[in-house]
């Protein structure tokens, strides 16, 4: 029925008095639109939103049968009820009316009560039809806004409903899709049999089951897409199976990504195997001969008296020592990268730092550097023995890059739930532009436009060990003058 609360009725008769009479009968409950000929009636029926048409049969320009047939053949007005009003009452006249798809008949002169009853009956039917159409259109709107394909197949594999997403993915219009056999038109030939077998399995399964499967579809132009389907049996009011409702998500890109990911994982596995092999080679095949060379160089240095040869041997010794350090650091970093977690125990930071400091007595004495450890009391922390490598690196660098006749200060700050260990030196310091880089692997500090000697791995190892402890690392300027403060945080026990 139209949006107005009152039904809209088109009254068609070439006699104005007949139109006026019907209008008088119906106008208390309906809005009347008059027409005085067949052509005028067709024009109004194509423009106006009507709820019913009262149509005279005998008109000079076009008879009522012809008008009714044209109205019923129009998609705009085919569901508007038509009552033929005629003075003819023979069987042949009624057959003509049925053939033209008229919904009812009234004989002139029109009885007011009969007219009212016939009109009310057809308006009620029209209202029910409009409600069904509205609900159908609403359901179609819901389907169209869905981000997945929605379609219905009847038991003959024919498509009876599709949503907008289905037309977008397939590349066809709705009219090109509806009524087509799904498997013949939209499933690749090499998977057709298996897809039909799935369809039969669903059709013969439990009506409560929602079946999931994946398979390819054939789109316009021959392109194929992979769809993830969820399907369920549809039944009528008698419980008979009338089709299958399918919802499908385009997973083509996801499948392609999965393939690439598997290839990447395979390549990564090969890379890890090569890395492990390389680490084994460094740890054994390279480190052993380097150690042997170091031993023989030490023997030659002890036996040699020629100053020129001693100078050359000392240069070779330093180079081999540096090579051994690089191999050991690279092997250590490789092992740490493969570790995801450590086992911790309660340890005293003061004891760990004292043990590490004791190993540097010779180096400290050679440069006349004083190690000042401001450690009062106990500093219980959750640590793994690997943590000593952090302080070995910090103190070693402070000695290596600090000036002779200076000092190194070790402090521990209390940060509520953490300890912050600080190693302060009085060297050249770290430029602001390098503070964020020094803990990255293979990044080395530049001072006075020169690259500082080293592998660039020592501080990367420090960072990895502290991260495995759930802590943080960093470097600040020495607040007491030249130099840097390298620090690390550790959780309290």
HSE value, Cβ hemisphere, 13 Å, CA-based, for 418:
14
Helices 16-26 and 112-145 cross at an angle (nearest 10°) of 70
The dihedral through the CA atoms of 109, 36, 28, 47 has a sign that is positive
Separation of alpha carbons 57 and 25, rounded Å: 20
CATH superfamily of 146-250: PAS domain (3.30.450.20)
The CATH topology of domain 345-491 is Heat Shock Protein 90 (3.30.565)
Other Cβ atoms closer than 10 A to 81: 21
Kindly give the confidence (pLDDT) of every residue in the chain, 493 residues in length, as a single tens digit, with 9 standing for 90 and above.
544 579 999 999 999 999 999 999 999 999 999 999 999 999 999 999 999 999 999 898 899 999 999 999 998 888 999 999 887 666 777 788 788 889 998 888 889 999 999 999 999 998 888 887 787 777 677 666 667 888 999 989 999 988 888 998 999 999 999 999 999 999 999 999 988 888 888 888 776 778 888 899 999 999 999 999 888 888 888 888 888 988 888 888 888 888 888 888 777 777 666 666 566 655 556 667 777 777 888 888 888 888 888 888 888 877 777 676 666 666 666 666 666 777 889 999 999 999 888 888 988 999 999 999 988 888 999 988 888 888 888 998 899 888 999 999 999 999 989 999 999 999 888 888 888 788 886 555 554 544 444 445 778 888 888 888 899 999 999 988 889 999 999 999 8
Alpha helices, DSSP H, located in 100-224: 112-145, 164-170, 174-177, 182-186, 192-203
- Are the C-beta atoms of 74 and 101 separated by less than 8 Å? no
pTM beyond cutoff 0.85 = no
In 3D space, the residue among 333, 332, 340, 344 whose CA is nearest the CA of residue 384 turns out to be: 344
Edge-first strand listing for the sheet containing 52-56: 31-35, 8-12, 52-56, 82-86, 104-107
The verdict on whether omega for the bond into residue 53 sits within 30 degrees of 0, i.e. cis, is no
- 380 contact partners, CB below 8 Å, separation of at least 6: 346, 347, 348, 349, 492, 493
Tokens of 456: 């660039």
189 phi and psi angles, rounded to 5 deg: -60, -35
- Are the C-beta atoms of 448 and 437 separated by less than 8 Å? no
Chain CA centroid to CA 470, Å: 30
- Strand, helix or coil for residue 307: helix
Separation of alpha carbons 443 and 434, rounded Å: 9
- Strand, helix or coil for residue 440: coil
According to DSSP, the residues that pair with 217 across neighbouring strands are 225
Exposure string of 156-186, with b = 16+ CB inside 10 Å and e = fewer, is ebebebbbbbbbebbebeeeebeeeebbeeb
Give the residue extent of every domain in the chain: 8-142, 146-250, 260-337, 345-491
- Are the C-beta atoms of 12 and 33 separated by less than 8 Å? no
Angle at 114 between CA 112 and CA 115, to 5 degrees: 65
Return the CATH architecture of domain 8-142. Answer: 3-Layer(aba) Sandwich (3.40)
Separation of alpha carbons 354 and 367, rounded Å: 20
In 3D space, the residue among 316, 368, 329 whose CA is nearest the CA of residue 461 turns out to be: 329
Separation of alpha carbons 368 and 365, rounded Å: 5
């Amino acid at each position: 029925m139209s949006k107005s609360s009152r039904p809209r009725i088109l009254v068609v008769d070439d006699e104005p008095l007949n139109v006026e009479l019907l209008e008088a009968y119906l106008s208390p409950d309906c809005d009347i639109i008059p027409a005085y000929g067949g052509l005028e009636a067709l024009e109004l029926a194509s423009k106006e939103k009507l709820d019913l048409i009262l149509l005279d049969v005998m008109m000079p320009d076009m008879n009522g049968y012809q008008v009714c047939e044209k109205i019923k053949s129009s998609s705009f007005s085919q569901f508007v009820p038509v009552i033929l009003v005629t003075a003819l009452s023979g069987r042949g006249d009624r057959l003509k009316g049925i053939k033209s798809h008229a919904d009812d008949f009234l004989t002139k002169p029109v009885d007011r009560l009969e007219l009212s009853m016939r009109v009310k009956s057809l308006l009620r039917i029209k209202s029910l039809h409009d409600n069904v159409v509205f609900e159908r259109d609403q359901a179609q709107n819901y389907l169209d806004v869905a981000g997945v394909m929605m379609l219905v197949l009847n038991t003959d594999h024919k498509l009876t409903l599709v949503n907008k997403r289905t037309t977008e993915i397939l590349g066809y219009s709705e009219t090109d899709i509806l009524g087509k056999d799904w498997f013949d038109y939209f499933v690749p030939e090499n998977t057709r049999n298996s897809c039909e077998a799935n369809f039969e399995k669903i059709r013969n399964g439990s009506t409560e089951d929602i079946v999931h499967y994946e398979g390819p579809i054939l789109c316009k132009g021959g392109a194929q897409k992979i769809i993830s389907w969820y399907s369920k049996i549809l039944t009528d009011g008698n419980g008979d199976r009338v089709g299958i409702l399918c919802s499908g998500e385009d997973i083509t890109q996801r499948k392609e990504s999965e393939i690439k990911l598997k290839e990447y994982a395979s390549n990564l596995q090969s890379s890890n195997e090569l890395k492990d092999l390389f680490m084994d080679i460094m740890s054994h095949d390279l480190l052993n001969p380097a150690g042997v060379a170091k031993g023989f160089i030490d023997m030659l240095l002890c036996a040699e008296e020629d100053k020129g040869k001693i100078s050359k041997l000392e240069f070779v010794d330093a180079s081999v020592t540096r090579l051994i350090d690089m191999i050991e650091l690279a092997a250590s970093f490789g092992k740490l990268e493969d570790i995801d977690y450590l086992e911790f125990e309660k340890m005293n930071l003061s004891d760990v730092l004292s043990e590490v400091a004791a190993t540097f007595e010779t180096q400290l004495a050679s440069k006349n550097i004083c190690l000042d450890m401001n450690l009062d009391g106990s500093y219980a922390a959750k640590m793994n023995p690997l943590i000593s490598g952090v302080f070995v690196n910090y103190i070693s660098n402070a000695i290596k890059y600090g000036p002779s006749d200076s000092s190194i200060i070790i402090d521990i700050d209390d940060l509520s739930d953490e300890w912050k260990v600080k190693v302060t030196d009085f060297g050249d310091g770290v430029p602001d532009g390098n503070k964020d880089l020094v803990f990255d692997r293979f990044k080395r500090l530049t001072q006075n436009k020169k690259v500082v000697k080293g592998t660039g791995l020592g501080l990367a190892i420090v960072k990895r060990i502290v991260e495995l402890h759930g802590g943080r690392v960093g470097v600040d300027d020495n607040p007491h003058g030249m130099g840097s403060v390298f620090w690390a945080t550790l959780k309290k026990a």
